[in-house]
């Protein structure tokens, strides 16, 4: 029972109810609907807050009922009721654990779909093979969670693996969960591409951005874009198309590039590439704001090449360790086969209470 009450204290109901009251006052003011877009955002925020409060109040009621039942069982010395209490307490503990985890998914874009990219680091075939392993890991994770995936672009390596790939992952809170994967992933193993079978270290960068195209107001000057079309192909030059349907869009001021070659037509590829470009430009603006906030707080963690977040060691021992949370496991095969949930959970739990901007 003590553990349940400790979990319960994580959510500030009083604070949430005050925020609801403030939003309701704001909605009641004259001219609230003059700015329809902003008004809709406020209404959505109010709905989310009310849903959270209702959920936690329901759990609070069940905890009180369980406590009353526990006191009754003590008075009656009824072991059968005690067993029922234990079963209900375990179920409540699991639900509260999930609620705690969802508290870390309170960011404005956490509920959205995700666009995930993997880029091989320096090291040629070795790093390109590592990038392909990571891509498979994320596709397996998405499959296990019932998420829909769509490979938007993939650039194969010369001998094996991929130089880069971008995949759309659609499903509830896809971005909220996968944002924990942003950063550099390091692999240590005996190289299958080295005739001497020496130990190699490889790096790959994972980028995760929310798919918020329908919600962002982002003006892009057509003069700032360079659009190239080319023939798409599979690994090793297979499936070469006769027509140039693949599209690469470069945003000249920032150098950001978005490519799509997996749709059927050039128009579809262009639309998807623009969608990815808009999301990346939006993520760039958000990163700038986050950097400014981090400077004020005296800390800054980048998702670029300078930030290694996780190490995967396959030789001389087996270990996957997250360098941010300290969580580690020796079951490397399970992790590389999509078993990321313990790492995601550890990361999200470590962020509970932080600003979700």
Question: Distance between CA 110 and CA 68 in Å, rounded?
Answer: 37
Domain that holds residue 7: 2-103
- Residue 61's domain is classified under what CATH number? 1.20.58.410
Looking at the structure, tell me whether residues 225 and 354 fall in a common domain: no
pLDDT band at 39 (very low <50, low <70, confident <90, very high): confident
Burial 185-194 (b: 16+ CB within 10 A, else e): bbbbbebeee
- Residue 251's domain is classified under what CATH number? 3.30.160.20
Whole-number pLDDT of residue 184: 95
Task: Return the percentage of the chain with pLDDT > 90, whole number.
Answer: 44
Which is higher by pLDDT, 334 or 63? 334
Looking at the structure, tell me whether residues 185 and 257 fall in a common domain: no
Tokens standing for residue 48: 């989310």
Question: Distance between CA 24 and CA 102 in Å, rounded?
Answer: 24
Give the range among 14-23, 105-114, 263-272, 290-299 with minimum mean pLDDT. Answer: 290-299
Looking at the structure, tell me whether residues 204 and 251 fall in a common domain: no
Which is higher by pLDDT, 260 or 287? 260
Looking at the structure, tell me whether residues 196 and 327 fall in a common domain: yes
pLDDT tens-digit series, residues 135-185: 999 999 999 999 999 998 898 998 899 999 999 999 988 999 999 999 999
For residue 304, pLDDT beyond 50:
yes
Looking at the structure, tell me whether residues 236 and 322 fall in a common domain: no
Give the CA distances from residue 328 to residues 316, 325, 339, in Å, rounded to whole numbers and listed in that order: 16, 9, 12
Classified as helix, coil or strand, 250 is: strand
Instruction: Look at residues 78, 103, 128 and tell me which one is the last residue of a structural domain.
Output: 103
For residue 221, being part of any structural domain is answered with yes
Whole-number pLDDT of residue 137: 98
**Maximum alpha-carbon separation in the chain:** 82
Looking at the structure, tell me whether residues 223 and 207 fall in a common domain: no
Whole-number pLDDT of residue 289: 76
Looking at the structure, tell me whether residues 158 and 185 fall in a common domain: yes
Domain count, the chain: 3
For residue 284, being part of any structural domain is answered with yes
Whole-number pLDDT of residue 78: 63
For residue 301, being part of any structural domain is answered with no
For residue 298, pLDDT beyond 70:
no
For residue 30, pLDDT beyond 50:
yes
For residue 145, being part of any structural domain is answered with yes
As a whole number, mean pLDDT of residues 268-297 equals 80
Instruction: Look at residues 54, 69, 103 and tell me which one is the last residue of a structural domain.
Output: 103
Looking at the structure, tell me whether residues 253 and 117 fall in a common domain: no
Looking at the structure, tell me whether residues 181 and 225 fall in a common domain: no
pLDDT band at 238 (very low <50, low <70, confident <90, very high): very low
For residue 68, being part of any structural domain is answered with yes
Looking at the structure, tell me whether residues 245 and 124 fall in a common domain: no
Looking at the structure, tell me whether residues 140 and 221 fall in a common domain: no
As a whole number, mean pLDDT of residues 214-221 equals 74
Query: What angle do the packed helices 79-103 and 36-76 form, to 10 degrees?
Result: 160
For residue 266, pLDDT beyond 60:
yes
Whole-number pLDDT of residue 197: 82
Whole-number pLDDT of residue 239: 44
Whole-number pLDDT of residue 4: 47
Positive or negative, the CA dihedral 314, 317, 318, 320 is: negative
Which is higher by pLDDT, 183 or 354? 183
As a whole number, mean pLDDT of residues 17-34 equals 90
pLDDT tens-digit series, residues 116-126: 999 999 888 99
For residue 214, pLDDT beyond 80:
no
Instruction: Look at residues 103, 125, 151 and tell me which one is the last residue of a structural domain.
Output: 103
Looking at the structure, tell me whether residues 321 and 174 fall in a common domain: yes
Rounded to 5°, angle at Cα 347 from 344 and 349: 105
Question: Distance between CA 45 and CA 53 in Å, rounded?
Answer: 12
- Residue 159's domain is classified under what CATH number? 3.30.70.1660
pLDDT band at 1 (very low <50, low <70, confident <90, very high): very low
Which is higher by pLDDT, 37 or 279? 279
**Most confident residue range from 60-74, 223-237, 268-282:** 268-282
For residue 310, pLDDT beyond 60:
yes
The set of residues, in sequence order, having a beta carbon less than 8 Å from that of 110 and lying 6+ positions away, is 173, 175, 176, 179, 210, 356
pLDDT tens-digit series, residues 40-98: 878 888 887 888 788 778 877 888 888 887 777 777 776 666 677 777 788 877 777 76
């Amino acid at each position: 029972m003590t553990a349940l009450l400790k979990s319960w204290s994580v959510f500030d109901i009083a604070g949430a109810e005050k925020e609801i009251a403030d939003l309701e006052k704001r909605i009641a003011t004259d001219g609230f609907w003059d700015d329809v877009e902003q008004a809709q955002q406020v209404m959505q925020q109010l709905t989310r807050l009310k849903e959270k409060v209702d959920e936690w109040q329901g759990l609070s009621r069940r905890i009180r009922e369980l406590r009353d039942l526990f006191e009754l069982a003590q008075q009656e010395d009824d072991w059968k009721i005690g067993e029922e209490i234990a079963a209900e307490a375990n179920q409540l503990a699991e639900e509260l654990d999930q609620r705690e985890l969802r508290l870390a998914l309170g960011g404005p874009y956490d509920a959205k779909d995700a666009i995930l990219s993997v880029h091989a680091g320096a090291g040629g075939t070795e790093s390109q093979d590592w990038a392909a392993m990571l891509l498979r890991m994320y596709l397996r994770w998405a499959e296990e969670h019932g998420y829909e995936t769509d490979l938007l672009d993939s650039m194969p390596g010369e001998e094996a693996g991929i130089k880069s790939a971008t995949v759309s992952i659609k499903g509830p809170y896809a971005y909220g969960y996968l944002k924990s994967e942003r950063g550099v992933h390091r692999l240590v193993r005996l190289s299958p591409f080295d005739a001497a079978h020496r130990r190699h270290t490889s790096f790959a960068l994972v980028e995760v951005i929310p798919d918020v195209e329908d919600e962002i107001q982002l003006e892009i000057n057509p003069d700032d874009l360079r659009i190239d079309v080319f023939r798409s192909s599979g690994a090793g030059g297979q499936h070469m198309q006769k027509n140039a349907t693949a599209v690469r869009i470069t945003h000249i001021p920032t150098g950001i590039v978005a490519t799509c070659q997996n749709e059927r037509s050039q128009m579809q590829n262009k639309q998807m590439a623009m969608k990815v470009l808009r999301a990346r430009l939006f993520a760039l603006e958000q990163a700038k704001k986050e950097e400014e906030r981090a400077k004020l707080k005296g800390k800054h963690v980048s998702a670029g090449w300078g930030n290694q977040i996780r190490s995967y060691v396959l030789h001389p021992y087996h270990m996957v360790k997250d360098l941010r949370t300290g969580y580690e496991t020796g079951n490397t095969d399970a992790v590389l086969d999509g078993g990321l949930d313990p790492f995601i959970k550890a990361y999200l739990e470590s962020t509970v209470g932080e600003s979700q901007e």
